[in-house]
Amino acid sequence: MPTPMTHRIPNNHVYYLGDDTALCLDLGSLINQKGLTLRIFATPDALAAATAQTAPAVLILEMSKIPTGTTLEPFLNGLLANAEQRPELLCIAAQEAIETRLHAMRAGAQGVYLDPVSAGDLAQRVAQLSGIDGASRYRVLVVEDDPAQAKYVALLLRNSNIESQVVGEPLKVLDAIRSFRPDLVLMDLYMPDANGDELTAIIRDQDAFLDLPIIFLSSELDLDRQMDALRVGGDSFLAKPVQRKLLVDSIDHRIRMARWLRERRLAVSRRDAAAGLLQTDHFMRHLDRCVRASKTPGEVGLLLIEIDSPQATLDRLGFDGTDRLSRRLEVELSNRMTPEECATRLGDFSYALLAKRDDTRALLDLAERLRHLLADTGSADRTGSPAEATEYKTTVSIGIGRFAPAANDALTMLSRGQKAAMAAQAAGGNRVQFWEPAVTPGQPAQADAQIRTLIEGAIGRQGLMLLFQPILSLGQDAGELYEVQLRLRAPDGEHIPPHDFLPVAERTGLMPTIDRWVMQHAMDVMDVQRVAHPRLRLLVHQTLTAVAAPQWLQWFRDQIVQRNLIRLRPLLALRMGEILGDLDTARPLMANLRNYGVQVCIADYSGSPAERQILAEFAVSLVKLATHTLTNSEQGVLAGIIRDLHDLGSAVIAAGIEDPDTIARVWNCRPDFLQGNYLQLPSTELNYDFAKAEYLA
């Protein structure tokens, strides 16, 4: 890892020239946690006066503040003429234009953001430009009663540019944590007055220290005793004597992990200050957790709220009036949400509300009240006579997506709500519509026939759709790796998840056709995205039967050659269960794939002796753990499975990361890749910021 820098920040001032008070409210809160202070200026003159007194570390400029007829560079030169030091510059533009970016670059801007701006992204960039990220060393509290051992460990840390403080009396550990404020505690296990595991339990009982990383450093070699210590709240265990590199790497690993989790929790819990709405990605993750959770009392539904005739509304109200309308809609939503409910803004004219009420009738009543309230809110934004207000009254349509039958994921629930809202608008608007399934539930034979018809029609009319979920590397540079996932789009717009239609496809012999469609379209994506994503790799699932079919391998090679994907070829994913079920087919197939240089990932690995024997025989480079293995195995067992796979020469994907607890437990087992909805939900876009996530590695 890079050696931490020890320079001091010149100052902690950040200046903002602009009018986006909502952004400034969030930004100020975020950077204040990092020791930075935000000042907001409405006019260039006010900013120039302040800069003459104290130059900021970073200046954020809304480019709309540049006077007409003036370009950015001379504007800045005049603005900062009396500044002692030129600040780092970030710009916010109202619309995308290469000329805007060119002017900003020539003026020395470190970045141009398009409005609306993510406060989190902006805060992170401000922290980097201010020097805050590298301004302080790690701080480690060493709890060790042996003076010689404590001196040795402190020396190792100092030589690695890590600040440390030693506590030789175990009962003073809480006072030391409060005064020293460490990033991590290095804890001996056996000490007088109190053992390390007892102290750890006490530390974990303090809410303020719940997320403080604790590493045990002890001569104890008994694995059961080590596990006992970890169960009370330790994050990892190192045996004495410890090598400097292992100690420093473990400290770095745990501190970065703790910081990342802390930032994620802060982001997830942060609501829009004005209206109490969640950011869309946070809302979708919460929705996904609700979909996967067990049944709760009452009725839960997803309300999709769409403004009817949005273009007509925009034409009548203009941009300012439409913005005021949106803000009032958000306030009405916020006022009627219970603490268990949440909402988000999906687009310029649509909102989603995850509602929980006593029964279906109460859910419908909520939707009807919102419909009336939002329509009344819309009419309040008009000018003119009462007759005109009535004539141009804004209306909304609300679709209610139900959770039964099981939806599988958040995107499926979203499509249910959207489908119902579209139906309400198609019926004339200004009404509430419940979602109804495209496939008749409770009648297997009829459902199979319906799904088969949908699949056959989808293949011909592009009714299948690909989603992409990022797979994050924790070590080696693996480029931009995504898993390809499949959905079936019904004619009415509903997205049917794989477990609802792939079994039917298998029973009716349609899987080879689907597999070729998926592979072909995945390679089309790689071809189209080669410029925007030159390091893109896609993990594409195929069935054993399809890949083993005559001429498949030649077809695969032809597809690659046609698109010139020789160096960017997709990764092939085969399921372990299918391989075990047909070894006579799998053995020659794996040999052929290896001879042709096709990289294979074995998915759904659970660690059984039979599965391990297969991996030892096939020598695959990538293995994806079964979700039930990841979620149900104790940490020690899971770590053993991953170590064994590493011994076989296989890198390991730990998928199914759905919450902070899972990622914290899995992280210590040292997989090579992480994947799951906690990182990002599957999306039609290749928009995961791998560069931002590199500090996890």
| Residue range 119-173, pLDDT digits in tens | 877 887 888 777 665 435 789 999 999 898 898 899 889 888 889 999 999 899 9
332 and 374 Cβ atoms separated by less than 8 Å = yes
Of the candidates 67, 72, 61, 73, which has an alpha carbon nearest to the alpha carbon of residue 18?
61
* Cα 283 to Cα 288: distance, rounded to the nearest angstrom: 9
Supply the DSSP symbol for 554. Answer: H
Least confident of 30-44, 594-608, 657-671: 657-671
pTM for the model stands at: 0.57
| Residue range 84-110, pLDDT digits in tens | 778 889 999 988 788 888 888 888 888
| Residue range 448-471, pLDDT digits in tens | 777 788 888 787 766 788 999 999
Give the burial class of 296: count Cβ atoms within 10 A of its Cβ; 0-12 exposed, 13-18 middle, 19 or more buried: exposed
| Residue range 391-450, pLDDT digits in tens | 457 889 999 998 887 777 788 888 889 889 988 998 899 999 998 876 655 555 556 777
Confidence band (pLDDT; 50, 70, 90) for 3? Answer: very low
Of the candidates 415, 261, 276, which has an alpha carbon nearest to the alpha carbon of residue 339?
276
Least confident of 314-318, 485-489, 642-646, 672-676: 314-318
Q: Helix count (H) and strand count (E) of the chain?
A: 26, 25
Count of Cβ atoms closer than 10 Å to residue 25 Cβ: 16
- Is the pLDDT confidence value at 532 over 80? yes
Give the burial class of 594: count Cβ atoms within 10 A of its Cβ; 0-12 exposed, 13-18 middle, 19 or more buried: middle
Confidence band (pLDDT; 50, 70, 90) for 383? Answer: very low
392-408: buried (b, 16+ CB within 10 Å) or exposed (e) per residue? Answer: bebbbbbbbbbbeeebb
What percent of the chain clears pLDDT 90, i.e. is strictly above it? 28
Question: What are the residue ranges of helices labelled H in 485-551?
Answer: 498-507, 511-528, 544-547
Pairing of strands 571-575, 600-605: parallel
**Phi-psi category of 618—alpha, beta or left, where left has phi over 0 and alpha has psi -120 to 50?**
alpha
